[in-house]
Amino acid sequence: MPADNSFRGEPYPINTRVALKRVLAEAADMGFGFNLGIECEVFVLRQTEQGGLEVPNPDDRLVKPCYDLRGFMDQFDWLDSMATTMDDLGWGLYSFDHEDANGQFEFDFRYADALTSCDRFVFFRYMAKELAKREGLIATCMPKPFADKTGNGAHLNMSLYELSSGTNLFEIDPRDDPRGLGLTDIGYQFIGGILKHGPALCAAFAPTVNSYKRLVRQGRMATFSWAPVFNSYGSNNRTNSVRVPMNGGRCESRNADGAMNPYLAAALALAAGLEGIREGIDPGSPQEDNLYTLTPEQWRDRGISLLPQSLREAVTAFADDPFVERTLGRPLQDEFVRYKTDEWDAYHQSISAWEVERYSHMF
């Protein structure tokens, strides 16, 4: 549950909510407020007798079930409880639907100031599990429960506004934007900061071993995953990690997933964006092609790099980027690195069923 811890009368240095409030204060000193919207994706599943997870309805097996009405109605009681509760809480729920995987759903509610949106996301995960439990089911925001299905994102939709007037500082008529995305210079500079520190931010946006099974171009899926694997930006192009949605006015970091600590992710995203503004970082031209289909040589020619492809790579980038220590302080940075290194080591030292099946018969 959301809380600001203190120690001996001082804000606790490794509390991520405290860290976000500190970066929000830095933005306020520049005259900026930070609005944030989080797209919440979640699976509703049933536990098998063997302890695994399965889609509750065996008939929910369309290859592309996005917006499928039958799959939606299968979980109507849970969906109704979720939507009613969010409405009662005043979150401004404006859409919810069956998502792109069997047993998966998405909820979208109105953006708010960053602290409020992060608090709501934390409560959303808890609420989804508790209401599913009443139906004898399991709700999970785990990034990738199934290798052959899309994963759970938690895309961060971000914009800055002027504190004195409330004006959206990212918004401009697309016809007045030379790049045509409907974004101001401040908005592009914010993206420039995000991309500058993209590998380090990935550790906070996608913070588990399982996260990097979602960040693949296709893997074992029947079609492209449309998950971001590139440190790049563009318009309505889901192969970029940063997208500027139609009509502009905001940017969306798409590698964030359902396991993220929203306070940590938002603090680092905002700090990176503010650095981009202070330094006037130009992110270059938007990438409008399907980057999945380009060759590594074409990526290099365009200055496009891959995001980290494992938790270990991401944590190394997080540890090596001086920006992280400047933003969070050494104690919080060290705690995250220690905890996530232990997680990687535990994973790496375990023996999977895949290894046993593959190698016990081979050798």
Structure confidence at residue 1 (pLDDT):
66
Q: What CATH number should be reported for the domain holding residue 20?
A: 3.30.590.10
pLDDT given at position 81: 97
Instruction: Report yes or no on 176 lying in a domain.
Output: yes
Q: Check residue 301 and give its pLDDT.
A: 93
How many domains does the chain contain in total? 1
Predicted pLDDT of residue 220? 80
Which residue range is the domain that position 257 belongs to? 6-349
Q: Is residue 1 part of a domain?
A: no
Structural domain contains residue 355: no
In a domain, 303, yes or no: yes
Burial class (CB within 10 angstroms; exposed 0-12, middle 13-18, buried 19+) of 164 = exposed
| pLDDT for residue 68 | 84
SS (H, E, C) the chain: CCCCCEECCEECCCCHHHHHHHHHHHHHHCCEEEEEEECEEEEEEEECCCCCEECCCCCCCCCCCCCCHHHHHHCHHHHHHHHHHHHHHCCCEEEEEECCCCCEEEEEECCEEHHHHHHHHHHHHHHHHHHHHHCCCEEECCCCCCCCCCCCECCEEEEEEECCCCCECCECCHHHCCCCCCECHHHHHHHHHHHHCHHHHHHHHCCCCCHHHHCCCCCCCCCCCCCCCEEEEECCCCCEEEECCCCCCCEEECCCECCCCHHHHHHHHHHHHHHHHHHCCCCCCCCCCCHHHCCHHHHHHCCCEECCCCHHHHHHHHHHCHHHHHHHCHHHHHHHHHHHHHHHHHHHCCCCHHHHHHHHHHC
Q: So what's the pLDDT on residue 7?
A: 82
Q: What pLDDT, in 10s, does the model give residues 272-314?
A: 999 999 999 999 999 999 999 999 999 999 999 999 999 999 9
Judge whether 21 lies within some domain: yes
- Whether 359 is in a domain gets the answer no
Look at residue 119 and tell me if it is in a domain.
Answer: yes
Task: For the chain, list residues with pLDDT below 70.
Answer: 1, 221
